Amino acid sequence: MFPKGFEWIVILVVVLVIFGPKNLPKLGKALGSTVKNLREGMSGEDEASETVVEESEEDAQIRELEEQLAAAKKKKEENEGPVSE
C-alpha cells in the first residue's frame, strides 16, 4: 500500500520540482504542525469528556452578580412601564 524505494525517490523529486528547494523547509514545518495538531485534537477529545470542570469561587461570585444585575434591570423596566415614542 505504501510506496517502496523507487516510488519514494520519484515522489521526492516531484515535490522538489513543484515546490523548489527554498520552500521545502516551510512545507515540512507546516506538515509537521498539522500532524501534531491532529494528534492533540484526537487525544484531547478523550480527555475533555472525562474531566469535570469545577466552578471556582470567583466564577460563582461573577455568576451571582450577573443574576443580580439582570434582576435589577428587569425591576427597573417594570417600574418605568412601556416606553412610547
CA distance 27 to 48: 31
Residue 10 or residue 47, greater confidence: 10
Q: What is the pTM of this model?
A: 0.39
Least confident stretch, 18-22, 25-29, 49-53: 49-53
Task: Enter the C-alpha cell of residue 5.
Answer: 524505494
CA distance 85 to 66: 30
pLDDT reading at 85 higher than 70: no
Beta carbons of 12 and 21 less than 8 angstroms apart: no
* Domain spans in the chain, listed from the N-terminal domain onward: 1-48
Residue 37 burial by CB count (10 A; 0-12/13-18/19+): exposed, middle or buried?
exposed
* Model confidence band, residue 55 (pLDDT cutoffs 50, 70, 90): confident
pLDDT for residue 66:
93
pLDDT reading at 60 higher than 90: no
